[in-house]
């Protein structure tokens, strides 16, 4: 005898749970927007929110044409190794941006530190172009560090944290001008909030060849969560973004730069191919603790080449 049964895939149920959780969190965050991560900044566990935008089209052999994929189930393949196989580059400029906007230092000192003006950002991109740098997405960088894709000479990776609205309105047009790809780390709970990108803007980034990475569901300081809660932030944010945007999510960014070896191991097991810290000193041999250099607010073009050279501690 055939009895009709309601079939719902477990992965679908968990996504529904995520959506419901995000709806609740969004309401909670309406009244509380907190400035983002700096290296030294500590976070209370959950009440923070940021969003990041995706980069433009690649020009090099590393084509950044977005690939639509069906949402992936939990990968059956074993996790990637944490260490890259060979040391070919001692220094890799991975630049960290937050806002691309005008802000007065006197009125908002922390906001100023996290902001590069559109004019200065355009000068920096022009400098990279004129000096033959090849920007790559972090998923491309991870592949090149694993020897599965060629590494261009003079590569640089541009990353944007938190998904601020100016990622789409200010950074994207400049990146498109130079056909530079970049990686934007998105916090689903921040999307469509005041000051942050909408889903339509994030889709615009995706459609221009930018990479969308995860910055957890709610910008949680993962070191302040239980193992189960941290794993959920890492895994469900990837599943949610992949389902919502229809592209692979391969790169991860620790909110406030906070992680432990256990947490970076969870990021690896979740199927990401790399993760970035907020420190310039974590090096480039551990694929889930890649160092970044924050481009300082107020940085002049004369100071910009400094970011392309290792710090004394990195030599």
Q: Which residues pair with 290 in a beta bridge?
A: 276
- Token pair of 228, please? 């189960």
Q: How many CB atoms lie within 10 A of CB 302?
A: 7
| Residue ranges that bind Zn ion, judged by CB under 5 A | 36-37, 50, 161-162, 255
Considering beta carbons, is residue 51 or 144 the nearer one to Zn ion?
A: 51
Considering beta carbons, is residue 139 or 162 the nearer one to Zn ion?
A: 162
Considering beta carbons, is residue 145 or 263 the nearer one to Zn ion?
A: 263
Shortest Å, Cβ 187 to Zn ion: 7
266: three-class secondary structure by DSSP = helix
Shortest Å, Cβ 291 to Zn ion: 16
Shortest Å, Cβ 216 to Zn ion: 9
Considering beta carbons, is residue 55 or 66 the nearer one to Zn ion?
A: 55
Considering beta carbons, is residue 80 or 171 the nearer one to Zn ion?
A: 171
Shortest Å, Cβ 34 to Zn ion: 10
φ, ψ dihedrals at 128, nearest 5°: -60, -40
Shortest Å, Cβ 50 to Zn ion: 4
Shortest Å, Cβ 37 to Zn ion: 4
* Residues composing the chain: 315
Q: Which residues pair with 94 in a beta bridge?
A: 157
Considering beta carbons, is residue 50 or 120 the nearer one to Zn ion?
A: 50
C-alpha R_g of the chain: 19
User: Which residues, 6 or more positions from 202, have their beta carbon under 8 angstroms from its beta carbon?
Assistant: 51, 53, 54, 163, 168, 184, 186, 191, 212, 245
201: three-class secondary structure by DSSP = helix
308: three-class secondary structure by DSSP = helix
Shortest-Cβ-distance residue relative to Zn ion: 50
Q: Are strands 183-186 and 155-161 parallel, antiparallel or unpaired?
A: parallel
């Amino acid at each position: 005898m055939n009895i009709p049964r309601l079939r719902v895939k477990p992965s679908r149920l968990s996504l529904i749970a995520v959506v419901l959780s995000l709806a609740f969190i969004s309401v909670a965050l309406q009244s509380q927007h907190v400035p983002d991560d700096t290296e030294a900044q500590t976070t209370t566990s959950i009440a923070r929110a940021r969003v990041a935008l995706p980069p433009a089209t690649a020009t090099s052999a590393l084509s950044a044409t977005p690939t639509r994929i069906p949402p992936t189930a939990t990968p059956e393949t074993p996790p990637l190794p944490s260490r890259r196989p060979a040391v070919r580059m001692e220094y890799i400029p991975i630049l960290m941006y937050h806002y691309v906007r005008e802000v007065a230092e006197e009125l908002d000192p922390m906001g100023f530190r996290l902001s590069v003006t559109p004019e200065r950002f355009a000068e920096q991109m022009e400098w990279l172009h004129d000096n033959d740098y090849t920007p790559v997405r972090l998923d491309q960088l991870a592949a090149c560090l694993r020897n599965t894709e060629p590494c261009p000479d003079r590569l640089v990776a541009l990353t944007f944290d938190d998904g601020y609205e100016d990622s789409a309105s200010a950074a994207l047009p400049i990146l498109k001008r130079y056909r530079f790809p970049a990686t934007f780390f998105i916090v689903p709970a921040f999307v469509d909030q005041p000051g942050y990108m909408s889903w339509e803007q994030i889709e615009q980034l995706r459609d221009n060849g930018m990479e969308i990475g995860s910055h957890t569901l709610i910008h949680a300081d993962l070191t302040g969560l239980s193992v189960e809660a941290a794993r959920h932030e890492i895994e469900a944010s990837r599943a949610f973004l992949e389902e919502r945007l229809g592209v692979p999510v391969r790169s991860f960014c620790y909110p406030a730069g906070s992680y432990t070896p256990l947490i970076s191991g969870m990021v690896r097991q979740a199927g990401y191919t790399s993760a970035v810290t907020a420190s310039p000193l974590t090096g480039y041999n551990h694929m889930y603790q890649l160092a970044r250099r924050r481009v300082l607010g107020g940085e002049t073009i004369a100071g910009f080449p400094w970011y392309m050279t290792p710090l004394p501690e990195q030599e």
